[in-house]
Amino acid sequence: MIRLSVIIPIYNEEQRLPDTLKAIHGYLKKQSYEYEIIAVNDGSKDRTESILKKFLITVPYLRVIKIEHRGKGSAIKQGMLNAKGKILLFCDADNSTSIDQVEKMFPWFSQGYEVVIGSRDIKGAVLAPPQPWFRNLVSGESFKLLRKILVGLWDIEDSQCGFKAFSKKAAKEVFPQSIIEQFAFDPEVLYLARRLGYRIKEIPVTWANDIHSKVTMQSVIKMGIDLFLIRMRIWVGAY
């Protein structure tokens, strides 16, 4: 039985993808449990597709899903719906949180939690290096406050860290109901998980800040709009 499925959403990652796949495969092949790596190519326009084809030859437990470009949330949703593991983890293509930190998550699933999420904003988290103060203010603290006001989840400090794991049962119930296709999908799936009665545990992780992050000011504005969309759907009972 596959214990761990690792889903990687990918869009135009020809530069960072090879190192990330090598790191994830290199770590998991040394573990005693069965695993799979699911790379979801979100309509990349660069050499991502050819790179993935080469890795299919050398990484035996890699699966590739190709979709039309819709956004990170859409890519992760497709990966989650196709995953076969007991625990389903998604992580970023920039490897900002290294795969070995999944070991911190396993004990919490044994304690009855169905969703375990990495956090950069609680005690014990390490940011190396920290985000620039302006980016943290705009895309971090401001977004966090707006998310808490509109969506709730007041006890969760960091909804946006790209390192989250779901039990198979939770993932197969939560993700079919999600509609947000870009960066604000995280608050939506966490809201859905909480609404469905699943316990969520937030744990500190070590996170490497990537100066080439694809979260732009335009992305932040779109995330804010999506938060209002989630709030509207909550109001009208669409979830």
150-166: pLDDT as tens digits: 999 999 999 999 999 99
Residue spans per domain, the chain = 2-131+158-210
Residue pair 64/37 in contact (Cβ under 8 Å)? The answer is no
HSE-CB at 215 with a 13 A cutoff on CA atoms is 23
Give the residues across from 115 on adjacent strands. Answer: 166, 200
For 2-131+158-210, CATH number? 3.90.550.10
Residues 180-237: tens digit of each pLDDT: 998 889 999 999 999 999 999 999 999 987 655 556 667 778 888 999 999 999 999 9
What is the reported pTM?
A: 0.92
Q: Which of 20-34, 128-142, 143-157 has maximum average pLDDT?
A: 20-34
pLDDT at position 129, please?
A: 67
Residues 162-186: tens digit of each pLDDT: 999 999 999 999 999 999 998 889 9
What percent of the chain has pLDDT above 70? 92
